[in-house]
Amino acid sequence: MNGEYDQFARDMRDRLNAVSPSLCLAKWQQVSIHLTSGLTQSCYHPPTHKIPLDLLKVQPSVLHNTPIKIHERKQMLEGKRPEGCAYCWKVEDAKSDDPKGHMSDRHYRSSEWWNAPTFEEVTQNKFDYDVVPRYVEVNFNQACNFKCMYCSPHLSSSWEEEVKKHGPYQLTNMAHNNIQSLEEKGIMPLKVANKDNPYVEAFWQWFPEIYRKLRVFRMTGGEPLMDKNTFKVLDYVNENPHGQLELSITSNMCPPEQKLFDKFVEKVKALEELRTYEDKENFNVHSGNNWYVDKGFKHFWLFVSLDGYGKQAEYMRTGLEFERLMNNVRTFLRETKYSTVSFINTFNIMSIPSLHNFLAMVLDLRAEFGGRSQVEFEIAPDQTETEKENNIVHKVYTQKKYQRVFFDIPILRYPPWFSIQNAGDYGINEVEHCLHYMEENVQGNDYLETFEGFKPYEILKIKRDLAIMKETLSQEQLLLNKKNFYMFIIEYDRRRQTNFIETFPELKSYWKECIKAHTKH
């Protein structure tokens, strides 16, 4: 199936375009909700917008079905491109050898297992029907012990503390991460206790209503391991098992206290315990009776934010302890049985120098936790004497070998001074070398047995990023980005006692260009 992932997306592209060249099922079936500030978006590419509190008091589903999203759904069905979805339009319009253009997340997301089956539901209903989403991502809290260089006070309490102490970053044309400006935009967390947050309250009213139709539920942050709602969700699923639900969190994997990680692992292990069920509604039962064995959920994904390797990764994400992160990832993979880890490399100019090491790390983990180390087995409930007499055979739980280590490499869009488009020939050459490395280590014919090597669609995603890198910025924009990069890094190093050029010697020439841009203008 992994080898067919890209083909599924290509097939879905044709299906979508037959209805409308701008149709994306994620606008209906996927939602990210920032409960700390009352903001929502469909997938993570469009900008967030406010959830109307007056409508929410009447109907909790407004957490997803806002007037803005309903309008954008109408636009898509009419063949118009919603402005907020510019990320995918840019990818699709980039120069490509494929006459149909580059594959974007519009195609990949719409073809996902949880989304593709809703094609008829979306296309056969009116644009304004009350959608029960299949993919829900929530941010319960901005509490975070990290200060990632591209993050913001509205998403990290540590960033908020720094800006309150030192003020915003003064750049050429702006005061970056200015709390007052963020408050005026309405994206800072509400100044109320979590228990008094009306959006959190609405979520817990809505969650039981949509729970059985959910296929993916994801918790992000801040750092979700620092929020009690994360563990409340894990307990809810344990008490209300849902065999079609894929559950996940996005974590930095270095919480302020190690006991939070240990507690998390124990909660996931409890969910993984195999149990006997008698419940047709919540599981796909095809045997002659209602009894079967299964886990408390379909699968568990741990998404780990990691934008590079070693000291360079630590520089980009203040608070990160690289070795501790890797130890925690390995512990999670060893201690849990039915889980997957996926690294998210938010690809920016400082990710480029350690990209090769990052990719090599992925290969090493795939070798360590791939098919060679896994054991397939089957298990079924014991038959009673009556069942034996009546020849009743239970549904058998089968555990197959599966892929346990993934990665994604979405392009950083903001702030623009960190964009990979600033990297020039050095960045292009380095990514091309990494592509060659991936092609040399592409998955073999035995990948369903070993789950090692790189997948064709992973190579295509890097090629997509490379195509965007090659798109030339205007000299004016490039100059502004270099000036702001210099001013940001100087202040960043001063506040955090770091040293950019010692950490990134590969970017020494680029740094000189930034100095020159700053001093000349």
In the prediction, which pLDDT does 393 show?
Answer: 65
pLDDT at 2: 46
Bridging pattern class, strands 339-344 and 397-399: unpaired
CA 95/CA 115 separation, integer angstroms: 28
The pLDDT value given to residue 375: 87
pLDDT at 399: 84
pLDDT attached to residue 521:
60
Please tell me what DSSP assigns to residue 389. Answer: H
- In whole angstroms, what is the distance from residue 163 CA to residue 178 CA? 7
Q: Are 85 and 46 within 8 A, CB to CB?
A: yes
Q: In this structure, what token pair is assigned to residue 60?
A: 């909790």
In the block, tokens 């740094």 appear at 511
Q: What is the pLDDT of residue 173?
A: 87
Per-residue pLDDT at 100: 82
Predicted local confidence at residue 459, as pLDDT: 95
- DSSP-derived 3-state class of residue 329: helix
Token digits for 210?
Answer: 């949509």
**Dihedrals phi, psi of 309, to nearest 5 degrees:** -135, 140
Q: What is the pLDDT of residue 1?
A: 45
Task: Report helix, strand or coil for 155.
Answer: coil
pLDDT at 282: 46
CB atoms within 10 A of CB 212: 13
Residue 58 amino acid letter: V
Give this prediction's pTM: 0.87
pLDDT tens, position by position, for the chain (521 residues)? Answer: 444 778 899 999 999 999 999 999 999 999 999 999 999 999 888 999 999 999 999 999 999 999 999 999 999 999 999 999 998 998 898 888 888 888 899 999 999 999 999 999 999 999 999 999 999 999 999 999 999 999 999 999 999 999 999 999 999 989 999 999 999 988 899 887 777 899 999 999 999 999 999 999 999 989 999 999 999 999 999 999 998 999 999 999 999 999 999 999 999 999 999 877 765 454 444 444 556 678 889 999 999 999 999 999 999 999 999 999 999 999 999 999 999 999 999 999 999 999 999 999 999 999 999 999 998 888 876 766 776 777 766 677 788 899 999 999 999 989 999 999 999 999 999 999 999 999 999 998 888 889 999 999 899 999 999 999 998 899 999 999 999 999 999 999 999 999 999 999 999 999 999 999 999 76
**Alpha helices (H) in 94-227, listed in sequence order:** 105-110, 119-124, 157-166, 179-185, 198-210
DSSP 187-224: -SPPSS-GGG-HHHHHHHHHHHHHGGG-SEEEEESS-G
Distance CA 219, CA 221 (A): 7
3-state secondary structure of 165: helix
Of 248, 267, 272, the residue nearest 379 (C-alpha)? 272
Residue 104 CA to residue 117 CA, distance in Å, equals 19
CA distance 255 to 238: 23
Closest C-alpha among 76, 52, 77 to residue 65: 52
Rg (CA), the chain: 24
DSSP label at residue 287 = S
